[in-house]
Amino acid sequence: MVVLKHYTWLIILSVFAIWSSTKISSWPESIQGILVFFPYVAVALGLFIALWLNRIQPVLILLSLGCFNAVLFYFSSSAFGLDLTEETLFPVLSILLPLNILLWIFLPEKGIFNKRLNSLVVLIFLVQTVLLYWLLIGVPEEWLMLLSVPVVQSSSIILLSFSAGIMFLLTLFFIVLKMNQSSFKILYHAVFVVLVLMLVGVGQGFNLNTLAWFSTFSAIVLTLAMIFEAHRIAYTDELTGILGRRALMEHFLGLGKKYVIAMIDIDHFKKFNDEYGHDVGDEVLRRVARVLDGVKGGSAFRYGGEEFTIVFANKTVNEVMEELEYIRRKVESGVIEFRVGLKSIKTNVTISIGAAQSDIDFNVAKDVLKLADKGLFEAKLAGRNQIIVREYAISSSKVNHYKGSKSDE
């Protein structure tokens, strides 16, 4: 679901950028006249966010986009002339842009204050500056013309050069590999979209307004990716990958008057940490979290430690009992195998569950959670591996027991 949400906004922005680029020539001249400055505004905003979040990779990608536009604009407006920029500089920069993005995305993310990494980055920029100067001054023009050989000969629609196309495709290939080798990171998917947008822009030939438009949207995509990634980190539990306690508290704000809250605790969890080490304990937490995250009709959160919470909106206890029992049995039936020294150990994990539902007089989410937590406490006292439902009434508190298979034995 989270992945789908991010692909949705990435696709919408990409489609809009490509569609709107075809309308640029019909825009008022006053807008077209300032369009070349749009990337600098978008890049500056992105740099502010990246620096605030201490992210070096987005900083470098944004700087590459900014430099790409700035160099083209400067040389086309200076004594060097438009012909030199279009026939020589543009093909070279069209190769350097994806190459730079590839370099930056494979650099380790060590923040913006790492002196060794920053020295390497400065060196790379200096080498490219010298190389660019040498290409423009010392390389025969007929050699540079080879970089401009188009993919499609005599086409007025696809103006992409063969060399730039190869570099873009290679970069896209390596970005896909990077995406598959790691857990979901919004930045990698955003960089993939940036490459596609810039490929479309470069493929339309040397046009400062078109390139500025695609560069602007590329910077916007990177900025949004950083914001959403920061939000995901803040609201997601790093160990288990499911939503954390902060997300739970925010989720409470959107609940109506009818809902069920279940508190879940891993039985004898301290034993896993004490006897087998924290690595085994962490694996137990991840295994249980994966089961809970697949809950139907509810949302799972890590409450803290070995405790989890599931919230069922617009449900009653009777409607969710079958799902809670299914979760309890699924956790119980799973076998965890690990090694301690030379010894191979297999074990089962069980969970205890306390559940409570809101009613007319008892509809504050935090109070319902406390009641569910009481049910969880009683489930553990009653022998663990079972579900206890606490039902609130003004004069009394009613308790219903739903014992698990081990307790029944």
> Half-sphere exposure of residue 17, counting CA atoms within 13 Å on the CB side?
27
Contacts of 137 (CB under 8 A, 6+ apart): none
| 194 vs 199: CA distance, rounded Å | 8
Is residue 306 part of the annotated active site? The answer reads yes
CA distances 372 to 205, 255, 328, 378, 394, Å, are 63, 16, 16, 10, 16
Tokens 């008057």 identify what position? Answer: 257
Choose among 355, 239, 367: nearest CA to 293: 239
| 263 vs 356: CA distance, rounded Å | 9
Q: Which two tokens stand for residue 263?
A: 């508190």
Choose among 354, 362, 348: nearest CA to 321: 354
DSSP state at residue 309: E
Q: Answer yes or no: are the C-beta atoms of 309 and 315 closer than 8 Å.
A: no
The residue type of 24 is: I
Q: Answer yes or no: are the C-beta atoms of 79 and 104 closer than 8 Å.
A: no
CA distances 216 to 42, 62, 195, Å, are 6, 10, 13
Number of residues assigned to the chain: 409
Q: Answer yes or no: are the C-beta atoms of 160 and 202 closer than 8 Å.
A: yes
CA distances 261 to 264, 312, 328, 365, Å, are 10, 6, 15, 8
Q: What DSSP string runs through 328-346?
A: HHHHHH-EEEEEETTEEEE
Choose among 230, 404, 251: nearest CA to 330: 404
The residue type of 249 is: M
Q: Tell me which of 109, 250, 306, 307 is the catalytic residue.
A: 306
Q: Which residues are catalytic?
A: 306
